[in-house]
């Protein structure tokens, strides 16, 4: 029953709703006690032969009125109770989503997407059920059960009531045993469902790779194994579920048998009337629901408790990056200074960045290149504070970047990664995702800067073209250019392009860079790329090797140095020259 205590914050917030809900439940329980008593009196009057036609009108009218009142009160508590449960689900999903948005990448390394989806669906549904059916069964099993027992004692005395209640202590003990077993099995079932959910999500997302490598059959086998595990876990839950109702039914039958037998003996000895036994029997029938509610209560509460424990464990995880200035709205401006002693990803053994220091001037164009795995993307992640490390010092405008709020810090940047992500919405909505209330003219302006405007107009519905999941109906280059347009619309001071042109031809890449450099807004552009021929106009070039700076300077300086940059640049220029007219220079080739 700890779940009701843990959900106390919600019940307190909506105390008026639940107060009236409980009040209506109590009124239903009390009003339902009247018809059995009236029926018992009618039976005695019939047996005595004193019943007249006029005597029937009043009790029948009262019974009809009781039915109307029960209808009104039941309708009231259902609206209040189930409406509250729906609101609880909304609040919990909102909290969970907010928690997801606060967590750093390391959190998503530990938890798979399918598992997180299962928390937000199945687990929240189980908690909703506890706030609805759980409250109903708790109140009804206590209030309705107590009201019926009191009425039974009032009509036929405590001896008759004690005989009727003899089987119920055994039932309560069995319910407790079933509930303990159900808690363990339901938690296991939820975990296996999370695994199955994750398998489906990965298979659907990677369907192209599965088909390309002819892994359809292998994936079917793996899915069947996970599905059977989930099925077995749910069958074990169902096997415990199946014990509740039969146990209650047997106990109720024993109660009725004992009541009728003892009641017949009392009638034979003149200790009670037939009408009183009739009333008592009807009250015993009313006691059946509270007993079922009692068993159902254990079932629902244990399911909800298992799910709430899973959610609380997830929500208890703190972000790996602490927002030390969450209330600050100061936005850092100025030059960016890196001073890194070393950096290693959590759980990794190999150091990603060694000792390096450099500065990025405000409004400059900086190119970062180097071998694969040399730490280029890691610089961006540290700049955006996806990770914190005492050996890393980054200042923006002379201010430590971890001394400002995460929102204020990240609002200065617009990041375009090499793996573009698009939503299942229109192209215009995807471009305007980062800003609300933008005009169509602004959307088209950034699309032109990203050299995707003409492509969009080529679609039947233009900017209103609906995209499939992750933009599946677009080419790789179109996806990248739309994500570039989205970043430009943010109007951020610093643009971070992490190999954002890898799916574009060099002519389009050069055109986009020219558009950015000739833009009216003075923005800092930091470009990670393996295509060196488009870095000729960069103000500063930084070459990384094994996490440290091996070369730095302008394009001309690095070409003359005859180091890694010079060798790769000359090789790429020759490859381009092989595809162009001989009289074109390297500079012309790169610009084309």
Is residue 523 assigned to a domain?
Answer: yes
pLDDT at 481: 92
294 touches 134 (CB < 8 A): no
Q: Are residues 497 and 485 in the same domain?
A: no
Of 315, 348, 375, which marks where a domain is finished?
315
367 touches 527 (CB < 8 A): yes
Of 470, 491, 512, which marks where a domain is finished?
491
Name the nearest CA neighbour of 247 among 300, 297, 186, 291.
291
Q: Is the dihedral of CA 20, 23, 25, 28 positive or negative?
A: negative
| HSE of 318, CA atoms in CB hemisphere, 13 A | 4
Is residue 331 assigned to a domain?
Answer: no
Q: Are residues 222 and 305 in the same domain?
A: yes
Please state, as a whole number, how many other Cβ atoms lie within 10 Å of the Cβ of residue 263: 23
pLDDT at 485: 92
Is residue 12 assigned to a domain?
Answer: yes
| Residue 338, strand partner residues | 358, 394
Name the nearest CA neighbour of 88 among 80, 494, 482, 165.
80
Q: Are residues 387 and 308 in the same domain?
A: no
Q: Are residues 401 and 433 in the same domain?
A: no
Query: In 466-517, where does DSSP find H-type helix?
Result: 476-489, 506-517
Kind of pairing between the strands at 548-553 and 540-545: antiparallel
Is residue 186 assigned to a domain?
Answer: yes
Q: Can you give the C-alpha Rg of the chain in angstroms?
A: 36
Distance from C-alpha of 502 to C-alpha of 496, rounded to nearest angstrom? 14
Query: In 166-215, where does DSSP find H-type helix?
Result: 168-205, 207-212
Of 491, 509, 542, which marks where a domain is finished?
491
Q: Are residues 486 and 496 in the same domain?
A: no
Residues in the chain: 592
Low-confidence ranges of the chain (pLDDT < 50): 581-592
pLDDT at 193: 79
Q: Are residues 520 and 399 in the same domain?
A: yes
Q: Are residues 120 and 221 in the same domain?
A: yes
CA distance readout (Å), 156 to 287, 288, 291, 455: 15, 18, 20, 86
We report the CATH number of the domain holding residue 16 as 1.20.1560.10
Is residue 330 assigned to a domain?
Answer: no
What are the strands of the beta sheet with 392-396, ordered from one edge? Answer: 356-360, 336-340, 392-396, 399-400
pTM value is 0.71
| HSE of 550, CA atoms in CB hemisphere, 13 A | 18
Is residue 321 assigned to a domain?
Answer: no
Q: Are residues 259 and 386 in the same domain?
A: no
pLDDT at 52: 66
Cα 263 off chain centre by: 57
DSSP class of residue 432 equals: T
Q: CA angle, corner 304, sides to 247 and 200, nearest 5?
A: 110
CA distance readout (Å), 99 to 95, 133, 317, 547: 6, 27, 9, 32
532 touches 369 (CB < 8 A): yes
Q: Are residues 128 and 216 in the same domain?
A: yes
Q: CA angle, corner 292, sides to 291 and 296, nearest 5?
A: 120
Counting the structural domains of the chain, the total is: 3
Structure tokens at 40: 């018992």
Is residue 556 assigned to a domain?
Answer: yes
Q: Are residues 369 and 461 in the same domain?
A: no
Residue range of the domain that includes 39: 2-315
Q: Are residues 486 and 499 in the same domain?
A: no
Query: In 111-167, where does DSSP find H-type helix?
Result: 113-118, 124-129, 135-139, 145-165
Distance from C-alpha of 82 to C-alpha of 76, rounded to nearest angstrom? 10
Q: Is the dihedral of CA 516, 518, 524, 528 positive or negative?
A: positive
369 touches 529 (CB < 8 A): yes
pLDDT at 212: 67
pLDDT at 497: 92
Alpha-carbon dihedral angle through residues 316, 317, 321, 327, given to the nearest 10 degrees = -20
Q: Are residues 392 and 450 in the same domain?
A: no
Is residue 326 assigned to a domain?
Answer: no
Alpha-carbon dihedral angle through residues 305, 307, 310, 316, given to the nearest 10 degrees = -70
455 touches 478 (CB < 8 A): yes
Distance from C-alpha of 115 to C-alpha of 195, rounded to nearest angstrom? 6
pLDDT at 590: 40
| HSE of 347, CA atoms in CB hemisphere, 13 A | 7
We report the CATH number of the domain holding residue 382 as 3.40.50.300
Residue 169, C-beta contacts closer than 8 angstroms, at least 6 positions apart:
none
């Amino acid at each position: 029953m700890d779940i009701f205590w843990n959900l106390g914050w919600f019940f307190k917030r909506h105390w008026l709703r639940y107060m009236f809900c409980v009040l209506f439940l109590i009124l239903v329980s009390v009003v339902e006690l009247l018809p059995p008593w009236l029926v018992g009196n009618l039976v005695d009057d019939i047996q005595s032969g004193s019943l007249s036609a006029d005597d029937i009108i009043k009790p029948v009218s009262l019974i009809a009125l009781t039915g109307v009142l029960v209808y009104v009160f039941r309708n009231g508590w259902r609206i209040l109770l189930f409406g509250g449960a729906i609101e609880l689900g909304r609040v919990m999903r909102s909290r969970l989503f907010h928690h997801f948005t606060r967590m750093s990448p390391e959190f998503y390394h530990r938890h798979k997407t399918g598992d997180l989806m299962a928390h937000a669906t199945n687990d929240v549904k189980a908690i909703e059920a506890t706030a609805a059916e759980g409250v109903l069964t708790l109140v009804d099993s206590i209030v309705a059960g107590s009201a019926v027992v009191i009425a039974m004692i009032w009509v036929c005395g405590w001896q008759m009531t004690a005989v009727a209640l003899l089987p119920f202590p055994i039932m309560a003990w069995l319910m407790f045993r079933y509930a303990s077993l159900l808690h363990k099995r339901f938690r296991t079932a939820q975990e296996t469902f999370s695994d199955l959910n994750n398998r489906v999500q990965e298979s659907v997302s990677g369907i192209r790779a599965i088909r390309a490598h002819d892994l359809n059959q292998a994936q079917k086998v793996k899915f069947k194994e996970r599905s059977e595990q989930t099925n077995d876990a749910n069958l074990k839950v169902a096997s415990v579920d199946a014990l509740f109702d039969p146990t209650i039914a047997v106990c109720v039958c024993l109660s009725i048998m004992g009541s009728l037998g003892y009641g017949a003996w009392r009638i034979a000895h003149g200790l009670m009337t037939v009408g009183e036994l009739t009333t008592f029997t009807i009250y015993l029938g009313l006691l059946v629901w509270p007993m079922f509610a009692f068993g159902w209560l254990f079932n629902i509460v244990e399911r909800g408790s298992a799910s709430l424990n899973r959610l609380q464990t997830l929500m208890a995880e703190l972000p790996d990056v602490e927002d030390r200035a969450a209330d600050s709205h100061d936005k850092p401006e100025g030059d960016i200074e890196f001073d890194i002693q070393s950096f290693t990803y959590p759980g990794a053994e190999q150091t990603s960045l060694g000792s390096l220091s450099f500065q990025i001037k405000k409004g400059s164009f900086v190119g970062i290149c180097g071998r694969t795995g040399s730490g280029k993307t890691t610089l961006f992640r540290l700049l955006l504070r996806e990770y914190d490390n005492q050996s890393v010092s980054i200042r923006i405008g002379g201010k430590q970047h971890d001394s400002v709020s995460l929102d204020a810090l990240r609002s200065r940047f617009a990041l375009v990664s090499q793996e573009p992500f698009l939503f299942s919405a229109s192209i215009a909505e995807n471009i305007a995702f980062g800003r609300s209330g933008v005009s169509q003219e602004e959307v088209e302006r950034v699309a032109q800067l990203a050299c995707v405007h003409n492509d969009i107009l080529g679609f039947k519905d233009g900017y209103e073209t609906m995209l499939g999941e992750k933009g599946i109906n677009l080419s790789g280059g179109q996806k990248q250019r739309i994500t570039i347009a989205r970043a430009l619309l943010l109007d951020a001071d610093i643009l971070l392009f992490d190999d954002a042109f890898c799916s574009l031809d060099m002519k389009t890449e050069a055109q986009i860079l020219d558009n950015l450099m000739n833009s009216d807004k003075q923005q800092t552009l930091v470009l990670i790329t393996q295509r060196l021929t488009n870095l000729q106009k960069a103000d500063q070039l930084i070459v990384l090797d094994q996490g440290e700076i091996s070369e730095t300077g302008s394009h001309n300086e690095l070409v003359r140095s005859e180091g890694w940059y010079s060798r790769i640049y000359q090789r790429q220029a020759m490859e381009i020259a092989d595809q162009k007219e001989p009289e074109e220079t390297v500079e012309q080739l790169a610009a084309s």
